[in-house]
Amino acid sequence: MSASGSKRKIAFLGTGLMGGPMARRLLAAGYPLAVWNRDAEKARPLEAEGATLAASPAEAVKDAEVVFTMLTDAAAVASVLFDSGCAEALKPGAVVVDTSSIIPDAAKDHAARLQGLGIAHIDSPVSGGVVGAREGTLAMMAGGDAEVIAGLADVFSVLGRVTHVGPSGAGQICKLANQQIVAITIGAVAEAMILVEAGGASREAFRNAIRGGFAESRILDLHGARMIARDFQPGGSSRNQLKDLNAVAAVAEKLSLRLPLTEEVRDEYTTFVSEGGGEKDHSGLLLHLEALNTAVIKTSD
């Protein structure tokens, strides 16, 4: 809440697959909200629900106390914040919360540049997909000043559960680690589905049988169901999954780390995306792995 006790004014930049439902929850919680999206049609439905539709990022952030960004990558975030006049339009004391998934060094750079303008910056990428964004159950990994993060408790609580994980950039490194786990687990579930079917068992029965055991996970629950239904409309696209795995690889190289499981699943996503799977859900990696085994298994899309 603001010092006066009224709901603080929020701007939301990037109202696509994830940003749209996040912004909608803030609106439903009663926060005055200005929204901007590069494709204005993706933000227009929020206008009908009470948001102010801005023509530019700078217009959206005017007088905002909190600014959320949910954009494609580090280049997009930098462009919106620093090339569009947005940073200069922010009022001193405002807080920028970047929920995009970008490389840690970029988050640190953005924080330093904003600090010079009297603006606080929190890198707080999220996990939980479109379902979590819609239901307010996102896991938010926040890097930056602990007091600033604590001061946004009322706002974060509308979106999910926030954890302060360290200084600027720490949120992004934790998100990359999260994406490692997601990608490797998707690969493991997909390979298990292929093994089960080739061996003569039912994929659906297999998934039901192991629920509640040591192999239980949200990936098995949600993405295992997608694999069985063969529903690969994107909640999180394979292209974005690959982007995150490439960022993991860059950080690992910088830290002189060998991460063989991550390297292998990154190679598989690279091939899947190059063959046209980039806009399919990341659980669609199953399709690529099935294609490697067409002589053994038969499937129908």
The CATH number of whichever domain residue 199 belongs to comes to: 1.10.1040.10
Residues 50 and 141 both lie in one domain: yes
**Residue 25's domain is classified under what CATH number?**
3.40.50.720
Residues 205 and 286 both lie in one domain: yes
Q: Say what the pTM is.
A: 0.87
Residue 50 lies in a domain: yes
Q: Which of 230, 232, 210, 231 is nearest to 221 (CA)?
A: 210
Q: Catalytic positions, please?
A: 175
Handedness of CA 153, 159, 163, 169 (dihedral sign): negative
pLDDT for residue 297 = 72
Confidence band, pLDDT 50/70/90 cuts, at residue 1: low
Confidence band, pLDDT 50/70/90 cuts, at residue 299: low
Classify residue 167 by burial, with Cβ atoms within 10 Å: 0-12, 13-18, 19+.
middle
**Tens-digit pLDDT profile for residues 14-59:** 999 999 999 999 999 999 999 999 999 999 999 999 999 999 999 9
Residues 130 and 188 both lie in one domain: no
Could you list the residue range(s) of the whole structural domain that residue 46 is in?
10-167
Residues 61 and 185 both lie in one domain: no
Residues 118 and 217 both lie in one domain: no
User: Is residue 87 a contact partner of residue 114, using CB atoms and an 8 Å limit?
Assistant: yes
Classify residue 120 by burial, with Cβ atoms within 10 Å: 0-12, 13-18, 19+.
buried
Q: Which two tokens stand for residue 257?
A: 């780390």
User: Is residue 66 a contact partner of residue 90, using CB atoms and an 8 Å limit?
Assistant: no
Give the domain-ending residue among 118, 138, 167.
Answer: 167
Classify residue 93 by burial, with Cβ atoms within 10 Å: 0-12, 13-18, 19+.
exposed
